[in-house]
Amino acid sequence: MLPTEIPEYRVHTKPSRVEHWRHLVEIVALVTAAAWAFYVFVYQERIKPAGELPSLQTSASVAHEPLQGGKELVTINVTLNNTGSNDISMAALLVNAHGVLYKGSTGEAQETRPANGITIVSHSLRGSDPELLYSRFSLWEPLGSTRRTLRLPKGEQLSFAEPFVIERGRYDTLRITYAYCYQRYDDEIVSAYKPKRTPDGAFEVRDLVAANATHAGLRCGGTSSYTGEYAL
Protein backbone atom coordinates (compact mmCIF):
# COMPACT_ATOMS: atom_id res chain seq x y z
CA MET A 1 0.00 0.00 0.00
CA LEU A 2 1.48 3.27 -1.07
CA PRO A 3 2.05 5.90 1.63
CA THR A 4 -0.44 8.64 1.71
CA GLU A 5 0.89 11.73 -0.03
CA ILE A 6 0.78 14.93 1.95
CA PRO A 7 -0.51 17.76 -0.17
CA GLU A 8 1.57 20.97 -0.45
CA TYR A 9 0.06 24.31 0.22
CA ARG A 10 1.73 27.58 -0.83
CA VAL A 11 0.69 30.72 0.92
CA HIS A 12 1.03 34.01 -0.89
CA THR A 13 0.71 37.10 1.26
CA LYS A 14 -0.11 40.44 -0.19
CA PRO A 15 1.10 43.45 1.84
CA SER A 16 -1.60 45.68 3.10
CA ARG A 17 -1.77 49.34 2.12
CA VAL A 18 -0.35 50.32 5.51
CA GLU A 19 2.66 48.00 5.10
CA HIS A 20 3.21 49.28 1.58
CA TRP A 21 3.41 52.88 2.77
CA ARG A 22 5.59 51.87 5.71
CA HIS A 23 8.15 50.29 3.38
CA LEU A 24 8.04 53.36 1.17
CA VAL A 25 8.63 55.67 4.14
CA GLU A 26 11.60 53.51 5.27
CA ILE A 27 13.15 53.72 1.80
CA VAL A 28 12.72 57.50 1.69
CA ALA A 29 14.25 57.77 5.18
CA LEU A 30 17.28 55.73 4.13
CA VAL A 31 17.78 57.84 1.00
CA THR A 32 17.42 61.05 3.03
CA ALA A 33 19.94 59.82 5.62
CA ALA A 34 22.41 58.95 2.88
CA ALA A 35 21.97 62.34 1.25
CA TRP A 36 22.47 64.10 4.60
CA ALA A 37 25.60 62.06 5.32
CA PHE A 38 26.97 63.02 1.90
CA TYR A 39 26.18 66.69 2.55
CA VAL A 40 27.80 66.73 5.99
CA PHE A 41 30.85 64.54 5.46
CA VAL A 42 31.62 65.15 1.80
CA TYR A 43 30.23 68.55 0.80
CA GLN A 44 30.70 70.40 4.11
CA GLU A 45 34.08 68.85 4.93
CA ARG A 46 35.66 68.59 1.47
CA ILE A 47 33.84 70.17 -1.47
CA LYS A 48 32.72 73.44 0.18
CA PRO A 49 36.04 74.21 1.96
CA ALA A 50 37.93 73.60 -1.28
CA GLY A 51 36.36 76.71 -2.77
CA GLU A 52 36.45 78.99 0.27
CA LEU A 53 38.92 81.80 0.86
CA PRO A 54 41.09 81.72 3.98
CA SER A 55 40.03 83.83 6.95
CA LEU A 56 42.23 85.25 9.69
CA GLN A 57 41.34 87.36 12.74
CA THR A 58 44.05 89.34 14.51
CA SER A 59 44.32 91.14 17.83
CA ALA A 60 47.05 92.90 19.81
CA SER A 61 47.67 93.64 23.47
CA VAL A 62 50.45 95.18 25.55
CA ALA A 63 51.88 94.14 28.91
CA HIS A 64 54.61 95.95 30.84
CA GLU A 65 56.43 95.45 34.12
CA PRO A 66 59.08 97.46 35.98
CA LEU A 67 62.71 96.36 36.01
CA GLN A 68 65.64 97.39 38.16
CA GLY A 69 67.56 100.56 37.37
CA GLY A 70 64.57 102.62 36.24
CA LYS A 71 63.79 100.40 33.26
CA GLU A 72 60.59 98.77 32.05
CA LEU A 73 59.94 95.58 30.08
CA VAL A 74 57.27 96.03 27.41
CA THR A 75 55.77 93.04 25.58
CA ILE A 76 53.48 93.29 22.56
CA ASN A 77 51.35 90.20 22.01
CA VAL A 78 49.89 89.68 18.53
CA THR A 79 47.37 86.83 18.24
CA LEU A 80 46.42 85.23 14.91
CA ASN A 81 43.22 83.17 14.84
CA ASN A 82 42.36 80.98 11.83
CA THR A 83 38.58 81.33 11.54
CA GLY A 84 38.30 79.79 8.07
CA SER A 85 37.67 76.27 6.82
CA ASN A 86 41.20 75.66 5.51
CA ASP A 87 44.70 75.59 6.95
CA ILE A 88 46.63 78.83 6.49
CA SER A 89 50.22 79.57 5.49
CA MET A 90 51.51 82.74 7.12
CA ALA A 91 53.50 84.80 4.64
CA ALA A 92 54.55 87.86 6.66
CA LEU A 93 54.06 89.62 9.99
CA LEU A 94 55.13 93.20 10.74
CA VAL A 95 55.02 94.87 14.17
CA ASN A 96 55.97 98.48 14.99
CA ALA A 97 55.93 100.24 18.36
CA HIS A 98 56.29 104.00 18.89
CA GLY A 99 56.49 105.89 22.17
CA VAL A 100 54.57 109.16 22.68
CA LEU A 101 55.00 111.79 25.41
CA TYR A 102 52.11 114.22 26.07
CA LYS A 103 52.91 117.77 27.02
CA GLY A 104 51.53 121.32 26.71
CA SER A 105 48.17 122.64 27.88
CA THR A 106 44.58 121.58 27.26
CA GLY A 107 43.67 124.99 25.87
CA GLU A 108 44.97 124.21 22.38
CA ALA A 109 42.24 122.82 20.16
CA GLN A 110 43.40 120.23 17.65
CA GLU A 111 41.14 119.48 14.71
CA THR A 112 41.73 116.57 12.39
CA ARG A 113 39.80 115.50 9.31
CA PRO A 114 40.72 111.91 8.39
CA ALA A 115 40.06 110.56 4.91
CA ASN A 116 37.07 108.53 6.16
CA GLY A 117 35.03 111.72 6.66
CA ILE A 118 35.19 111.83 10.46
CA THR A 119 36.15 115.17 12.02
CA ILE A 120 37.71 115.16 15.50
CA VAL A 121 38.16 118.24 17.69
CA SER A 122 40.36 117.58 20.72
CA HIS A 123 41.38 119.78 23.66
CA SER A 124 43.61 117.08 25.10
CA LEU A 125 47.31 117.42 25.67
CA ARG A 126 49.38 117.57 22.52
CA GLY A 127 51.47 114.49 21.94
CA SER A 128 55.08 114.53 20.84
CA ASP A 129 56.11 113.09 17.53
CA PRO A 130 56.05 109.28 17.88
CA GLU A 131 59.51 107.85 18.49
CA LEU A 132 60.33 104.41 17.13
CA LEU A 133 61.03 101.94 19.92
CA TYR A 134 60.71 98.57 18.21
CA SER A 135 60.16 97.20 14.69
CA ARG A 136 60.14 93.61 13.54
CA PHE A 137 59.43 91.97 10.19
CA SER A 138 59.01 88.19 9.75
CA LEU A 139 58.88 86.67 6.26
CA TRP A 140 58.01 83.10 5.26
CA GLU A 141 58.06 81.00 2.06
CA PRO A 142 54.85 82.26 0.38
CA LEU A 143 56.51 85.66 -0.11
CA GLY A 144 59.81 84.32 -1.40
CA SER A 145 61.69 83.77 1.86
CA THR A 146 63.90 80.74 2.41
CA ARG A 147 62.31 80.43 5.84
CA ARG A 148 59.98 77.44 6.03
CA THR A 149 56.24 77.93 5.77
CA LEU A 150 54.44 78.62 9.05
CA ARG A 151 51.25 76.55 9.04
CA LEU A 152 48.22 77.59 11.07
CA PRO A 153 45.55 74.83 11.08
CA LYS A 154 41.88 75.76 10.88
CA GLY A 155 40.28 76.57 14.21
CA GLU A 156 43.62 77.19 15.91
CA GLN A 157 45.46 80.35 16.95
CA LEU A 158 49.04 81.46 17.24
CA SER A 159 50.55 84.24 19.37
CA PHE A 160 53.74 86.23 18.86
CA ALA A 161 55.41 87.96 21.82
CA GLU A 162 57.54 91.01 20.95
CA PRO A 163 59.51 92.14 24.07
CA PHE A 164 61.75 95.19 24.42
CA VAL A 165 63.05 97.41 27.24
CA ILE A 166 62.64 101.18 27.64
CA GLU A 167 63.40 103.81 30.29
CA ARG A 168 60.60 103.96 32.83
CA GLY A 169 58.55 107.15 32.62
CA ARG A 170 60.09 108.43 29.41
CA TYR A 171 56.87 107.92 27.42
CA ASP A 172 53.21 108.17 28.36
CA THR A 173 51.73 105.84 25.77
CA LEU A 174 52.72 103.22 23.23
CA ARG A 175 51.34 103.26 19.70
CA ILE A 176 51.24 100.01 17.77
CA THR A 177 50.99 99.32 14.05
CA TYR A 178 51.11 95.89 12.51
CA ALA A 179 50.43 94.16 9.22
CA TYR A 180 50.26 90.57 7.99
CA CYS A 181 49.92 88.42 4.87
CA TYR A 182 48.63 84.87 4.56
CA GLN A 183 47.17 82.41 2.08
CA ARG A 184 45.66 78.92 1.92
CA TYR A 185 48.15 76.23 2.85
CA ASP A 186 47.51 74.33 -0.41
CA ASP A 187 48.23 77.44 -2.52
CA GLU A 188 51.72 77.03 -3.97
CA ILE A 189 52.00 80.43 -5.64
CA VAL A 190 55.09 82.28 -4.44
CA SER A 191 55.67 86.01 -4.79
CA ALA A 192 58.95 87.65 -3.82
CA TYR A 193 58.66 90.61 -1.46
CA LYS A 194 61.28 92.99 -0.11
CA PRO A 195 60.18 95.03 2.94
CA LYS A 196 60.41 98.80 2.85
CA ARG A 197 61.08 101.23 5.69
CA THR A 198 59.71 104.60 6.75
CA PRO A 199 62.10 107.57 7.38
CA ASP A 200 62.35 106.72 11.10
CA GLY A 201 63.43 103.15 10.35
CA ALA A 202 60.15 101.33 10.98
CA PHE A 203 58.93 98.75 8.50
CA GLU A 204 56.31 100.17 6.13
CA VAL A 205 52.79 98.91 6.91
CA ARG A 206 51.01 100.24 3.82
CA ASP A 207 53.54 98.72 1.43
CA LEU A 208 53.03 95.25 2.92
CA VAL A 209 49.25 95.60 2.80
CA ALA A 210 49.58 96.55 -0.88
CA ALA A 211 51.19 93.15 -1.50
CA ASN A 212 47.61 91.89 -1.39
CA ALA A 213 47.49 92.52 -5.14
CA THR A 214 50.50 90.35 -6.05
CA HIS A 215 48.30 87.31 -6.73
CA ALA A 216 44.72 86.23 -6.08
CA GLY A 217 45.50 83.77 -3.32
CA LEU A 218 47.46 86.14 -1.08
CA ARG A 219 45.54 88.16 1.51
CA CYS A 220 47.13 91.03 3.44
CA GLY A 221 45.79 93.37 6.07
CA GLY A 222 46.96 95.85 8.66
CA THR A 223 46.65 99.37 9.96
CA SER A 224 47.32 102.64 8.23
CA SER A 225 47.70 104.65 11.45
CA TYR A 226 47.70 102.67 14.67
CA THR A 227 45.67 99.83 16.15
CA GLY A 228 45.73 101.07 19.69
CA GLU A 229 47.38 103.41 22.15
CA TYR A 230 48.41 101.80 25.41
CA ALA A 231 49.43 103.41 28.70
CA LEU A 232 52.99 102.89 29.89
List of residues 6+ apart from 119 with CB closer than 8 A: 111, 112, 113
- Mean pLDDT value of segment 158-162: 93
Q: 13 versus 55: which is more confidently predicted?
A: 55
Instruction: Provide the pairing of β-strand 110-112 with 120-122.
Output: antiparallel
Distance, CA of 207 to CA of 165 (rounded, Å): 28
- Mean pLDDT value of segment 157-176: 94
Proportion of the chain above pLDDT 90, given as a percent: 47
Is pTM beyond 0.75? Reply is: no
Highest mean pLDDT among 13-22, 180-189, 218-227: 180-189
Distance, CA of 71 to CA of 97 (rounded, Å): 17
The burial class, CB within 10 Å (0-12 / 13-18 / 19+), for 92 is: buried
What's the pLDDT at 58?
92
What's the pLDDT at 203?
96
